[in-house]
Amino acid sequence: MPPKVIYEKETLLKTALSLLRDKGQESLTARNIAKRQGCSTHPIYSEFNSIKELKAELYKVSYEYFTNFITTGNGKIDFLDIGVNYVLFSKKEKNLFSFLFLNKNFEINLEDVGKIDRKIIKSIREDEYVQNNSIENHDEIFFNLWVFAHGLATLTYNSKEPFNEKVIRRILEKTGDLIYKGMTVKQ
């Protein structure tokens, strides 16, 4: 008798992530995931109570992929690189960007925005401009730059001729400089 094949939750989520990246969120059905995995739908429903539960877990996996994408560079990555990578993510990973940020279930929780990823906040603290100007409100810097970068990412996502990396970098540098300067002004 052939050995019983077991499909673990992580394997099914990796398959679902691959399908999402290639075909978009409309393709996320038990049948499509099973077909890509090479199994019946039974293992999916053994690991997940519903496709809705699978999508909720997939959101976490997708967000982790996104965070790694924007915080990975060649060597030390600075805060500007994170912003550039964020915008490039919307260009290179359209289906994931849409799933994470442009779907009707997306909700912004302002409390969580400052806690999104300690790697990002760490990069702000270590940013040369922030250190040289004794700026201490790292969560506020992050929030303001995140709002702007997200808007730029959405424009890039929807554009027939998206900005190239050089233009993205220049726009974010200018905006970041304005935000930093605005935070150093005594009110």
Render pLDDT for 121-136 as a digit per residue (tens, 0 to 9): 677 677 666 666 666 6
Residue pair 168/84 in contact by the 8 Å Cβ criterion: yes
Look at residue 116 and give its three-state secondary structure. Answer: coil
Backbone angles phi, psi at 77, to 5 degrees: -105, 130
Of residues 75 and 52, which shows the higher confidence score?
A: 52
**Rounded Cα gap, residues 91 and 153, in angstroms:** 8
Least trusted range by pLDDT, from 7-16, 59-68, 74-83, 93-102:
74-83
Q: Is the pLDDT of residue 96 over 70?
A: yes
- CA 2 to chain CA centroid, Å, is 41
pLDDT band of residue 20 (cuts 50, 70, 90) is: very high
